[in-house]
């Protein structure tokens, strides 16, 4: 990322100096859609994200420019007007300001320019990187760093929930804020207890394959969440201690099979299976059994595809091709409906795998897939040049 260029842009646009901040996107090894079911997830921050040049402007107005949307005028809004701006990306900025203010912290006017190298709509959570870089920077600029990292992640999640129409869980914002170089994190999304897990498997690498089917998470994602809540409501009638699918067993779900729709049943079943898989992966990681980690990844994929209904023909094809190439693990990553697959690949077959996927995907869909090798990076921080 060219930070000097970003600073130059800011200074040319606003005629004064700025501070620089960065928040990353994330990968997730396993535990998909478990976060809003109070389960476990296994994310890590990546070395790609959003960089922000920012300075207070002494007014009640916010002026933000996206350096990547060329020719796009700056978006301006007043902190005293609760109408959301029109551009979707600006809602993330606006929502973050509102969520900080609602919690009783100060938020004043500022000027900002941001840029990113995390691909949009690829399942790497570019939007969490935007929420989190603004929340982190505003905390430094106006709140004397008094908002702790947990609350910063919650502010990011609330921004998506309340201002951007996505009823997401906490995983992406947590990963963006708490990320640590070389470490994955096992997060309990109910208690927010977490543990860092060093991840550098000998002889294997993680690579993302971008299907280039862009997803814009919204209605379909929210419907999946609603299905989970429907299943919980039915189970709780008989088992009042069940507050989320985390508390439910396969037997409990089977008891209510006739009381809920088959779609809700299948989606809830995927979540219960995925809960077990996350624990199995933790166990396998401790034993260094990466082949079993990989097998769990494939099972997650087909659960996401057939039970949860959150894959698409392109990502299914990428996973089938990975399997045919002898890749240890492969699955759709993130919210779903397109974006990237995450692949656990033996270094010895990496080049052949990439060559074969490129050939096969091009032939089947006339799309050139993109590859991103995964480097686990740090969470939100200030950049001092
Ligand atoms: C999106 C959401 C997360 C999580 C994942 C699926 O990335 O933002 O909260 O639910 O999908 O695991």
Q: Which of 41, 126, 168, 271 to mutate to test the pocket of ligand 1 (most atoms within 8 A of CB)?
A: 168
- Residue 172 annotated among the catalytic residues of the structure: yes
Nearest alpha carbon to residue 341 among 360, 366, 367, 319: 319
Residue nearest ligand 1's atom 1 by CA: 335
Per residue in 266-275, pLDDT (tens digit) is 999 999 999 9
**Gap from CA of 247 to ligand 1 centroid (Å):** 20
Q: DSSP state, 18? A: -
In this predicted structure, the answer to whether residue 71 has a pLDDT above a threshold of 70 is: no
**What's the mean per-residue pLDDT of the chain?**
96
- Name the strand (E) or helix (H) holding 205: strand 204-210
Looking at 131, 172, 210, 264, which residue is catalytic?
A: 172
Q: Which of 44, 171, 185, 337 to mutate to test the pocket of ligand 1 (most atoms within 8 A of CB)?
A: 171
> Three-state DSSP class for 215?
coil
- Name the strand (E) or helix (H) holding 140: helix 126-142
Q: Which of 28, 35, 303 to mutate to test the pocket of ligand 1 (most atoms within 8 A of CB)?
A: 35
Kindly give the interhelix angle for 126-142 and 88-102, rounded to the nearest 10 degrees: 40
**Gap from CA of 35 to ligand 1 centroid (Å):** 7
Residue nearest ligand 1's atom 2 by CA: 168
Identify whether the C-beta of residue 52 lies closer than 8 Å to the C-beta of residue 65: no
In this predicted structure, the answer to whether residue 73 has a pLDDT above a threshold of 80 is: no
**Ligand 1 atom nearest residue 335's Cα:** 11
Per residue in 95-131, pLDDT (tens digit) is 999 999 999 999 999 999 999 999 888 889 999 999 9
| CA triple 117-215-91, angle to 5 deg | 70
How many distinct helices (H) and strands (E) make up the chain? 11, 13
In this predicted structure, the answer to whether residue 68 has a pLDDT above a threshold of 90 is: no
Nearest alpha carbon to residue 207 among 374, 36, 1: 374
Structure confidence at residue 300 (pLDDT) = 98
Whole-number Å distance between alpha carbons of 290 and 287: 8
């Amino acid at each position: 990322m060219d930070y000097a260029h970003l600073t130059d842009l800011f200074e040319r646009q606003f005629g004064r100096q700025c501070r620089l901040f960065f928040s990353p996107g994330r990968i997730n090894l396993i535990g998909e859609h478990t976060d809003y079911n109070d389960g476990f997830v296994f994310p890590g921050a990546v070395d790609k994200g959003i960089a922000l040049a920012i300075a207070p402007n002494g007014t009640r107005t916010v002026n933000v420019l996206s350096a990547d949307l060329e020719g796009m005028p700056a978006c301006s809004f007043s902190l005293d007007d609760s109408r959301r701006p029109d551009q979707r990306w600006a809602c993330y900025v606006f929502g973050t300001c509102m969520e900080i203010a609602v919690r009783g912290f100060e938020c004043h006017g500022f000027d900002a320019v941001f840029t990113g190298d995390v691909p949009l709509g690829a399942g790497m959570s570019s939007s969490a990187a935007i929420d989190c870089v603004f929340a982190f920077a505003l905390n430094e600029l106006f709140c004397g760093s008094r908002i702790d990292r947990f609350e910063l992640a919650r502010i990011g999640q609330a921004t998506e929930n309340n201002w951007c129409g996505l009823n997401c869980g906490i995983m992406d914002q947590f990963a963006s804020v708490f990320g640590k170089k070389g470490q994955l994190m096992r997060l309990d999304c109910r208690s927010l207890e977490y543990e860092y897990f060093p991840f550098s498997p000998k002889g294997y690498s993680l690579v993302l394959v971008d299907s280039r089917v862009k997803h814009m998470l919204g209605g379909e994602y929210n419907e999946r969440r609603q299905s989970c809540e429907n299943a919980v409501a039915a189970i709780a009638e008989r088992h009042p201690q069940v507050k989320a699918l985390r508390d439910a067993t396969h037997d409990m779900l089977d008891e209510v099979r006739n009381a809920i729709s088959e779609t809700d049943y299948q989606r809830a079943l995927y979540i219960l299976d995925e809960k077990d898989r996350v624990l199995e992966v933790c166990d396998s990681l401790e034993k260094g059994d990466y082949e079993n980690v990989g097998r769990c990844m494939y099972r997650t994929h087909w659960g996401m595809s057939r039970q949860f209904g959150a894959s698409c023909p392109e990502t299914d094809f990428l996973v089938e091709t990975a399997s045919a190439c002898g890749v240890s693990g492969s699955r759709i990553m993130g919210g779903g409906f397109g974006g990237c697959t995450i692949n656990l690949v033996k270094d010895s077959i990496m080049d052949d795998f990439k060559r074969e996927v490129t050939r096969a995907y091009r032939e089947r869909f006339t799309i050139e897939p993109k590859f991103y090798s995964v480097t686990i990076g740090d969470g939100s921080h200030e950049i001092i040049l």
